Amino acid sequence: MQTGDLVERDQIMNTDQGAADGQEDYALTRAEVEQITAARRDRLYRSAQIVSVVFAIISIAAMAGFKMHEGFFDASSRIGILMESVNAQESVLSAPKVNVRTSFQDEEGSRLVIPLTEPIASEDVSIREVFIQNKYVITLSGYSENIPNGVELVSDSTIMDAVGVYRQNDDVVVEVFGRDLYDYELVTGSNALTVIFRDMGDSYAASAVVWLPYEDRNRLALPEWRQRLARFAADNRIKLYMASDMPEQYSQDEVIAFANRIRADMVLGVQVEGNSEQQSYMTGICNTTYFIPDYNSTHLSVVMAEAFLEATQIGMSGFEEGGSHALVSQATVPAAVIRISLTQKDMESVENEYRLNEKIISALEKTMGDILQDYIKTSD
C-alpha cells in the first residue's frame, strides 16, 4: 500500500508540473490522474462491499442470537417495566399521610360525597377494597393542592363506621370503613365526587377469593395479568377478591376467615416454591374432611388441578390433606391450593417466571369458569 501511495503522489505531482509546462502535458497527465482516481474509486467500492458483507453477516448472527433468546429479552424487559410500576406504586402507598381537617353532614343516602374545588378526570380517581377490614380506599391522583382544610363531606353513618381524608404525596386519599361489604359506583361531577354504595344483592353469580403468599404478591400477580383476571371475573359476574390487592400484610387465617364470613363460592390458593428435584411438579391441597354433597373442596381441587395441568403442562404429583395449610384446614367453604414446585433452573429463569404468571392466570380463569358452569346454579 505504501508503494501505491507513492506512485499516486508522484503522478499527481507530475500533473501539477504538466499544468505549468503546457497544455499537451497537462492533458496527458490529467488522463493518468483520472485513471488513478478511477482505480482508487474501484478499490474503495470493493472495500465498502467487503465491509457491507461483513456487517451483514454480523447483523444476521446478532439477530439470530436475539431471536433465539427473544423470549428472555421480552420477558426480562417486561418484568422490569412492570416491577418498576409496582415499586413506584408501593412507594406512593408507603408515603406518610397528612390529615385533612374534615367535618361531616350525616345523611341516609348510602353515599359519600366529596366536594371538589376543581374538576377531576375519571381516570384520575380509583378505588381499592381492603376487604378483610371492610375498607375502601379512594385515591384522587394529583389533587392534593386542590383539597382545602376544613372540607365538609356528606356521609351515611348507617353504612359507614369511619371516614378519613389525607394528603399523600400529590394525591388525596379517602379511607372509608364500612359496616359491611358493599358494591359501589363512582360518579365524577364538576363540583363533587360521589361514591354510591349498595348491597351486593344479586349483582353477582358467584364470589371467588384468590390467595397468594404475601411475600409473592408482586412476583405472582403482575398488574397486566391481574387486570386480565379482573376483566374475566366481571364478564362472568364473579365478585373477585384478590388478597394480593391489599397493601397491608395479610395471613392465610385472615383471608380464610373473610372467605368463611361471606360464604365465598370458591377459595383459590396458589403457592410457588423451589425443589431439589430434577423435574418441576405440582401438588393439590384440600380438606377432604369438610364435605358438602354435590360441590365441596374435593370437587374444587380436582377442577383446579386439571386447569393448572392444562395451562402449565407441569405434572401433578398427587393431592395432600391441608392440615398445616390454614387456607384449607380452616375453610367452611370450598377451598383448594395448588403448590407449584419448580426446579432451581426454572426458579432462576426470568423468562419462565414471566410465562408462569400468564399460565397461572389462565388456569385461574378456567377454574372459575368451570366451577361456575358445572357446580353453581345461575339464572341469566
pLDDT tens track for 238-265:
999 998 877 678 889 999 999 999 999 9
Q: Residue 69 corresponds to which amino acid?
A: H
Question: What are φ and ψ of residue 33, in 5° steps?
Answer: -60, -45
Return the axis-axis angle of helices 223-235 and 70-93, rounded to nearest 10°. 80
What lies within 8 Å, CB to CB, of 52 at 6+ separation is none
Residue percentage of the chain with pLDDT more than 90? 50
Q: How many CB atoms lie within 10 A of CB 127?
A: 14
pTM to 2 decimal places: 0.71
Q: Which residues contact 184 (CB under 8 A, 6 or more apart)?
A: 127, 136, 195, 196, 197, 198
The per-residue DSSP string of 223-249 comes to HHHHHHHHHHHHHTTEEEEEGGG-SS-
pLDDT of residue 166: 93
d(CA 213, CA 249): 10
The domain made up of 206-374 is a member of CATH 3.40.630.40: yes
Question: Which residue's C-alpha cell is 392534593?
Answer: 144
Structure letter (DSSP) for residue 314: P
Beta bridge partners of 104: 153
Coil, helix or strand for 152? strand
Residue 37, pLDDT > 60, answer no
**CA–CA gap between residue 263 and residue 266 (Å, rounded):** 9
Are 180 and 159 in contact by the 8 Å Cβ rule? The answer is yes
Q: Mean pLDDT, the chain, as a whole number?
A: 79
Burial class (CB in 10 A: 0-12, 13-18, 19+), 144: middle
What order of strands is seen across the sheet that includes strand 192-198?
A: 102-106, 151-155, 111-115, 192-198, 183-188
What one-character DSSP code corresponds to residue 324?
A: T
pLDDT digits (tens, 9 = 90+) for 97-127: 888 888 899 999 999 999 999 999 999 999 9
Taking each continuous run of H as one helix and of E as one strand, the counts in the chain are: 9, 16
Quote the CA–CA distance of 361 and 100 in Å, as a whole number.
40
In percent, how much of the chain has pLDDT > 70? 72
150: left (phi over 0), alpha (psi -120 to 50) or beta: left
**Ranges 52-56, 148-152, 333-337, most confident:** 333-337
Angle between helix 350-374 and 297-312 (nearest 10): 140
Highest mean pLDDT among 169-178, 222-231, 281-290, 317-326: 169-178
Distance CA 57, CA 53 (A): 6
Ramachandran angles phi, psi of 365, nearest 5°: -60, -45
The rounded Cα 102 to chain-centroid distance in angstroms is 35
In this prediction, residue 139 has a pLDDT band, given cuts at 50, 70 and 90, of very high
Residues in the chain: 380
Residues 314-339 have pLDDT tens digits of: 999 999 988 789 999 999 999 999 99
For residues 265 and 334, the answer to whether their CB atoms sit within 8 Å is: yes
